[in-house]
Amino acid sequence: MEPWQHSLRNSLTDPTQLASRFALDPAPLLAVAQRYPLRITPYYLALLEGPGDPLWRQCVPDPAELAADGLFSDPLNEAQLSPVPGLVHRYPDRALLLTTATCALYCRFCTRKRAIGCGDQPADFTAALSYIARTPGLHEVILSGGDPLLLDDDRLDDLLSRLRTIPHIETIRIHSRVPVVLPERITEKLAALLGRYHPLYLNTHFNHPRELTEEAAQACGRLAAAGIPLGNQSVLLRGVNDDAETLRSLFRGLLRLRVRPYYLHHGDLVAGTAHLRTTIETGLKLVAALRNTLPGMAIPQYVIDLPGGRGKVPLLPDAIKQLGATAIIRAANGDRVAIANPGQDEVARR
């Protein structure tokens, strides 16, 4: 067993152990974890300072996750946009291949929290690869999940090699939080394996400057040394990174790791995440505060993924038609889409 697999096997999954470590009542943690599982790697557990800190809020069950918040289990309509099991085809030229149903750490704000840690890993990718091969309009495949880097090297190598036999697939992208929460997985061997399948891009997911550790820097350095362009997708999270100085420090630090800030996501309308969401107005003010204090390449696009699978839209003035309790955002096709946008007073009560 490789060291990263040993770490994964020894991750904290029992809420009573977490409660004992931090002198907490286990009952609320157990109630949430029965619905939305808990997993924290030994590495990330060591970074936690205690209840309520920005890393804690990302990974420790919160009773607010069980609140009837009027949000949706599948806000992006992925189930209806899945032509074959394990594949989401939302945009004409690219598809999302869901490689696993597990992650190294179960984020409390996950878009797919309805399924991650709650289902089985796909037995194989035959149906998905067959669909990709017979759909010539596809030019990019994005490996997501779960986390694709939890596949062992042999299985990942096999999947990438099969994708590379499809002539119309020009680029491959991997979305992974492994460099953040299980950096020991990013071995020289893995970096070399990925480097054989260029053009291949990797987007990781740092949300807070305290995640920019020496171990994470070494993991990103191995990938960059293999010629893999690195991007980062952060989620704007209440009590985690919803202030300008935190975001400024995060984005500056990412550039030091040779990781380009790519997207700052407004929180999806996912059931069980209302307590972590901010208003759109908050995000716009934060991005405005970063301008002229950071180089352009350090400022990601602030985007919202419209409900119903209508796609991502940069939150720019021409896209925003109304703000307030209900925001109106113009989709790429011109449709006006209503988004629940609770005011700061309501957000603060959650």
Cα 16 from chain centroid (whole Å): 27
- Catalytic entry in 62, 147, 242, 305: 305
Q: How confident is the model at residue 217 (pLDDT cuts 50, 70, 90)?
A: very high
Question: End-to-end distance of the chain based on CA atoms, in angstroms?
Answer: 43
Evaluate if residue 122 carries a pLDDT over 80: no
Q: What is the pLDDT of residue 173?
A: 98
Q: How many CB atoms lie within 10 A of CB 152?
A: 12
- Catalytic entry in 43, 57, 62, 103: 103
Q: What is the pLDDT of residue 349?
A: 58
pLDDT tens digit string along 57-91?
Answer: 999 999 999 997 889 999 999 999 999 999 999 99
Catalytic residue check, 277: no
Evaluate if residue 346 carries a pLDDT over 80: no
Q: How confident is the model at residue 347 (pLDDT cuts 50, 70, 90)?
A: low
pLDDT tens digit string along 18-42?
Answer: 999 999 999 999 999 999 999 999 9
Catalytic residue check, 90: yes
Catalytic residue check, 107: yes
Specify whether the backbone of 324 is left (phi greater than 0), alpha (psi in -120 to 50) or beta. left
Q: From CA 267, how far away is CA 264, in angstroms rounded?
A: 9
Catalytic residue check, 330: no
- Catalytic entry in 39, 57, 112, 222: 112
Backbone angles phi, psi at 7, to 5 degrees: -60, -45
pLDDT tens digit string along 93-116?
Answer: 999 999 999 999 999 999 999 989
Q: Comparing C-alpha atoms, which of 180, 159, 142, 163 is closest to residue 312?
A: 142
Catalytic residue check, 291: no
Catalytic residue check, 268: yes
Among residues of the chain, what percentage have pLDDT more than 70? 96
- Catalytic entry in 91, 155, 210, 258: 91
Catalytic residue check, 220: no
The SS3 call for residue 235 is: strand
Q: What is the pLDDT of residue 345?
A: 55
- Catalytic entry in 39, 59, 74, 107: 107
- Catalytic entry in 90, 185, 222, 277: 90
pLDDT tens digit string along 187-215?
Answer: 999 999 999 999 999 999 999 999 999 99
- Catalytic entry in 110, 114, 222, 242: 110
Catalytic residue check, 108: no
Q: What is the pLDDT of residue 262?
A: 97
pTM of the model: 0.92
What architecture is domain 3-319? Alpha-Beta Barrel (3.20)
